[in-house]
Amino acid sequence: MSYKLAVLTVCLLSLWISTTKAQATPNIDDLLNKIFTTEQTPSQPQPTKTTVLQPQPNPAPQPDPGSGKSCGVNKECIARFLCGEDGNVIRDGQTLIDIRFDGDDVCTYLEVCCNTGDKLTEPNVPIKPDETHEGCGYRNPSGVGFRITGDKEGESQFGEFPWMVAILRDEVIGGEILNVYECGGAVIAPNVVLTATHCVQNAQPELLVARAGEWDTQTKQEVLPHQDARVKEIIRHENYNKGSLYNDVALLILATPFTWEENVRPICLPEPGVNFDHSRCYATGWGKDKFGKDGTYQLILKKIDLPAVPHDTCQAELRKTRLGKFFNLDKSFMCAGGERGKDTCKGDGGSPLVCPDPNNPKRYYQAGIVAWGIGCGEENVPGVYANVPYLRNWINEKLSARGIDFRYFTA
């Protein structure tokens, strides 16, 4: 009996010692965690929807100096507007660029292999078009700062249509907030963009960004940067019909105004009732080059010249399509095109159709807003646009109520 008691006592004593020792010596993982972990503040709840960046004032434009890739001994890839094609610094602010560059080149088509000793941090000459103008509606047919060659697919010059806007939407992709292209639009005042209601019908304004001055969507090496402004308010036409697209017009009021630069300027708006029939007009956009699955979205802003088609002629042509012989073209529409292979397509919605002033061909008015069409680029099938002169009174009413100055879009 005494033997059993002695054994039990020894066991209890061993258990007490091991327990005491375990309490005195912390686990090695716990110890490492205490050493390398700093005091944390309570974690914030993670958003379940797209995080919205707060509107910031537009920063002063800064040129992109280039990729800086080595392209030879004491040479690197520099933005063309900072170095001449012969390896010397540009002194006149003008150069020619062939956009059909060889994909095997070290430098991109907006760069040149430059001696590092000749590198500038900013242009030493103003970046301006051949002719400078004040006011709305002036196109830059030779571009701003440089002129491209090799434009065999309707590429516009940089800054040629300074009123053109890309409407972007915040979207979370792979855990990152990206700007996804939604539609086109046009600047008509520093804080106003004109577009189509069908583009923004279900959009939340706080998720939209208006980008002006964009040209090549895959680079930031243009001579003047684009400007982004968040959307504060969307004004949709009250009588918009989502089935027939009647009154397909909308205004975006921006949280911060655009700053006028040579690549960011407003388009003029025509007075109510103005007729552009038979004018040769321009439509622009980054939309698809053809209808259907074979079409691809464009990297460089494209332009097409189109004839404005009289209302009755357009209605007669559209009645020959699947719309049928009883189709009636609403007065809130106007038409352009009907030439094979030349049309606005998917993704061009909301983009402007601009026509020259008969009294000043260098100045343009926005005649239409890309709305809809039957196919894309079919012969004798014009594209259909929201009729800006017809909708001008509605535009005036909405802008007057918000104190927007009409002088920005008045020729």
Whole-angstrom CA distances from 51 to 167, 169, 207 are 18, 12, 9
Identify whether 383 is part of a domain. Answer: yes
Contacts of 281 (CB under 8 A, 6+ apart): 305, 306, 307, 308, 336, 353, 354, 355, 356, 367, 368
Identify whether 229 is part of a domain. Answer: yes
Tokens representing 168?
């972007």
Whole-angstrom CA distances from 18 to 11, 24, 26 are 11, 10, 13
CA 251 to chain centre: 16
Identify whether 142 is part of a domain. Answer: no
Range of the domain at 324: 279-389
Same structural domain, 385 and 286: yes
Domain count, the chain: 2
Same structural domain, 316 and 259: no
Same structural domain, 254 and 291: no
pLDDT of residue 183: 92
3-class secondary structure, 315: helix
Identify whether 147 is part of a domain. Answer: no
- Rounded to whole angstroms, how far apart are CA atoms 32 and 307? 75
Identify whether 61 is part of a domain. Answer: no
Identify whether 375 is part of a domain. Answer: yes
Q: Which residue has the tokens 């100055």?
A: 405
SS (H, E, C) 115-133: EHHHCCCCCCCCCCCCCCC
Identify whether 25 is part of a domain. Answer: no
Same structural domain, 299 and 375: yes
Q: Which residue has the tokens 């960004």?
A: 209
Q: What is the pLDDT along the chain (411 residues), one digit of tens a residue?
A: 555 555 555 555 555 545 544 444 444 344 333 333 333 333 333 332 222 333 334 444 454 555 567 776 777 887 766 775 454 444 444 455 555 444 456 777 677 778 776 666 665 556 777 777 889 999 999 898 878 776 567 889 999 999 999 999 998 888 888 888 899 999 999 999 999 999 999 999 999 999 999 998 888 878 889 999 999 999 999 999 999 999 999 999 999 999 999 999 999 999 999 999 999 999 999 875 443 444 455 688 999 999 999 999 999 999 999 999 999 999 999 999 988 877 666 558 999 999 999 999 999 999 999 999 887 778 899 999 999 999 999 999 999 999 999 999 999
Same structural domain, 242 and 328: no
- Rounded to whole angstroms, how far apart are CA atoms 23 and 277? 92
CATH number assigned to the domain comprising residue 302: 2.40.10.10
Identify whether 95 is part of a domain. Answer: no
Please report which helix (H) or strand (E) contains residue 7, including its range: helix 2-24
Closest by Cα among 177, 148, 130 to 299: 148
pLDDT of residue 121: 63
